[in-house]
Amino acid sequence: MKFKDIKALTAGQGPARSASERLSRRCHSVEDMRLLAAKRLPKSVFEYIEGGGEDEVSLRRNRSSFDDWSFLPKWGSVANHSLSSTLLGGPVAMPLTLSPTGGTRLFHPDGETAVARAALEAGIPYGLAHLSTTTMEAVSAAAPGLRRWFNLEPIADKVLLQAVLDRVSNAGYEALLVNVDCRAIGHRERDYRNGFTAPPSIKPRTVIEGALHPRWALGFLANDAIAFPNLDAEIPDGPLSSTPDMWRTLLAGSYEPTDWDDIKDLRARWNGPIILKGIVNPHDAVTAADIGIDAIQVSNHGGRQLDHMASPLDVLPDIVDKTAGRIEIIVDGGIRRGSDIVKALALGADACSIGRPYLYGLAAASQAGVAHVLKMFAADMTRTMMLLGVTTVEELRGEGRELIRHRNEVFTRTLPTEIPSAQFPAAQLAYSDLRTP
Ligand SMILES: Cc1cc2nc3c(=O)[nH]c(=O)nc-3n(C[C@H](O)[C@H](O)[C@H](O)COP(=O)(O)O)c2cc1C
């Protein structure tokens, strides 16, 4: 080989010139980003992102239910491929949203602002947590063109509720993303074992964890203390200092338990779209459609609340059937690849949403990390749709059910209904066995 041939082979192998180039070389999947986040964060903080309720059955099932579905690609042109779509009457560059996550500045000091900017750049909506660590107004100022949704915790006190709605509306939030799965806080045993509190309290273990993760510790100490400023106006005593206090306040006093009448009241008060987040019961989905709710987020809170709550993908087909196009459907929980989004859309969802994947990106590399996660989802989704033989999101949602099979239905749906028994006696036997109810 000549020197110039060797030089050509090493082209592009110099040091990375930007954070996004570094991430492109290092992270080829959400799992790669998760491993990077695990290195950057103290164990207790990382496990706060990772953990689920009780035995974490729902958490695991959220992932495994995607493996139950297989693709049946069709042959045909995929020219003019596009991921763009619409959601709640507005455009989205791909059918994905960022779900609310409380306490986001714990994972990186740039927190919600970095997430909002990455969502804006990617052309997708972001649901800001009621329990965010940056004010709703600051997020609006950081990403003015972003489609912003506000993750409202239900509030029974109508005076307080109206004050919050006015603040949300003045800050330019287009939709309310209302939690209906948090009547009690989930029992996350990893947090108890790790002694995790939000904000972190200083104990000998915290000091050691901080020393082992100096970049995180410096960012944490050099920036404003972690607080939940969207609650400031609502709680006369000022900012709440710890998660248990905050939850006690949310679940008692002014935040009395709410019911469907409060959702109807909210519908009457808020002119924009309302999404109910945390529905897995088809009857609740139908009730939501009946009272004029615009969308539901089929979700078990990423397996963090009620353990053994159904996996969103498992209940999706029934919800799609029962609501019959009367309400838009977003699905979250366990989505780690573009192929997961393709499966959910093929089963009738309008869009998907993610929590942990973008937090891994944030923890690893701030805005560039979130942006890289979103680029991986877009690239994955494009590749999966092309291999499946589908050009647009509309086509995927229209014909998708014929391109995907649950492992229990692969044989029953693909075999012909009549098999001449004289020709294939063995096949006839196996087929009729499968069809036995
Ligand atoms: C660290 C963390 C904090 C969360 N905080 C909230 C919250 O404040 N409000 C909410 O509705 N959901 C919250 N969620 C749930 C997410 O919105 C979303 O439903 C879930 O993360 C989706 O599952 P995934 O993480 O597997 O993508 C949180 C999730 C995580 C991981």
Same domain as 94, residue 179? yes
Pair (230, 176) in one structural domain = yes
Q: Are residues 346 and 431 in the same domain?
A: no
Structural domain tally of the chain? Answer: 2
Q: Is 186 in the pocket of ligand 1 (CB under 6 A)?
A: no
pLDDT for res 228: 84
pTM for the full predicted model: 0.91
Q: Are residues 312 and 417 in the same domain?
A: no
Confidence at residue 275, expressed as pLDDT on a 0 to 100 scale: 98
Which residue segment(s) compose the domain that 426 sits in?
A: 408-435
Contacts of 66 (CB under 8 A, 6+ apart): 313, 334, 335, 339, 340, 343
Cα within 13 Å of Cα(427), Cβ side: 13
263 shares a domain with 226: yes
Q: Does 202 reside within a domain?
A: yes
Token pair for residue 84?
Answer: 């763009």
| 225 is a domain residue | yes
Check if 372 has its Cβ closer than 6 Å to any atom of ligand 1: no
Distance 100 CA to ligand 1 centre (A): 6
Determine, yes or no, domain membership for 11. no
């729902």: which residue's tokens? Answer: 58
Q: Kindly state whether residue 3 falls inside one of the protein's structural domains.
A: no
| 74 Cα–ligand 1 center, Å | 35
Beta-ladder partners of 331: 298, 352
Whether residue 352 has its Cβ less than 6 Å from ligand 1: no
Say how many Å lie between the CA of residue 281 and the centre of ligand 1.
Answer: 19
Would residue 55 count as lying in a domain? yes
Answer yes or no: do 324 and 417 share one domain: no
**Å from CA of 355 to ligand 1 middle:** 5
Q: Work out the angle at residue 57's Cα, subtended by the Cα atoms of residues 54 and 60, and round it to the nearest 5 degrees.
A: 125
49 lines ligand 1 (CB under 6 A): yes
Place of tokens 């808020």: 270
CA distance 228 to 213: 24
| Cα gap 240→232, rounded to integer Å | 8
The segments of the chain whose pLDDT lies below 50 read: 241-242, 253-254, 419-437
Q: Are residues 271 and 367 in the same domain?
A: yes
Residues 29 and 78 in one domain: yes
pLDDT at 62: 98
For a ligand 1 pocket test, name from 304, 313, 337, 341 the mutation site with the most ligand atoms within 8 angstroms of its C-beta.
Answer: 304
CATH number of 186's domain:
3.20.20.70
Whether residues 142 and 248 share a domain: the answer is yes
Nearest atom within ligand 1 for CA of residue 297: 19
Indicate whether residue 100 lines ligand 1 (CB < 6 A).
yes
130, 213, 301, 372: the catalytic one is 301
In a domain, 243, yes or no: yes
Q: Are residues 173 and 236 in the same domain?
A: yes
**Mutate-to-test residue for ligand 1 from 61, 101, 194, 341, highest number of ligand atoms within 8 A of CB:** 101
When the pLDDT of each residue in the chain is averaged and rounded to a whole number, the result is 89
129 lines ligand 1 (CB under 6 A): yes
In a domain, 4, yes or no: no
81 is catalytic: no
Tell which residue, 376, 294, 430, has the closest CA to residue 33: 376
Distance CA 263, CA 51 (A): 30
What is the distance in A from the centroid of ligand 1 to the CA of 84? 25
318: which residues sit within 8 A by CB, 6+ positions away?
282
- Shared domain for 416 and 366, answered yes or no, is no
Are both 310 and 421 inside the same structural domain? no
Rounded Cα distance between 112 and 318, Å, is: 34
